[in-house]
Structure 1
Amino acid sequence: MYHVVIAVDEETDRARRQASAVADLPNAAEEVRATLLHVFTENPGGASATQVGSVRRAEELLESEGVEVDIAERSGNPAAAVLDFAESEGADCICVGGRSRSPAGKAIFGSVSQSVILQSDRPVLVTGGETE
Structure 2
Amino acid sequence: MYHVVIGVDDDVEHALACVQGVTNLPGDAAEKEVTLVHSFTDNPSGASATQIHSVREASEYLEDHGIDYDVNESSGDPAEVIIDFAEEEDADLIVTAGRKRSPAGKALFGSVTQSVILNTDRPVMVTGTARGSE
TM-score, normalised by the number of residues in structure 2: 0.88
**Matched residue, 1:31:** 31
CA distance in 2, matches of 1:48, 1:28: 30
Write the deviation string for residues 5-55 of structure 1: whole angstroms up to 9, x where unpaired. 000000001100101000111124021100010000011211100000000
Classify 1:36/1:28 alpha carbon distance in 2 versus 1 (closer, same or farther; 3 Å).
Answer: farther
5+ residue gaps in structure 1?
none
Q: Match of 2:15?
A: 15
Q: Which amino acid aligns with 2:85?
A: F
Flag structure 2 segments of 5+ consecutive residues without an equivalent.
none
CA shift, 1:100, in A, is 3.5
The equivalent of 1:92 in structure 2 is: 92
Q: Secondary structure at the match of 1:113?
A: helix
What does 1:1-132 correspond to in 2, within 5 Å?
1-101=1-101, 111-129=111-129
Higher RCO (C-alpha 8 Å, min separation 6): 2
One-letter amino acid of the counterpart of residue 35, structure 1 = T
**TM-score normalised over the length of structure 1:** 0.89
- When residues 101 and 44 of structure 1 are mapped into structure 2, their CA distance, relative to the original with a 3 A threshold, is closer
Q: How many residues align?
A: 129
RMSD across aligned positions (CA): 2.1
Q: For the Cα contact (< 8 Å) 2:48–2:73, is it kept in 1?
A: yes
CA contact (8 A) 2:16 2:129 kept: no
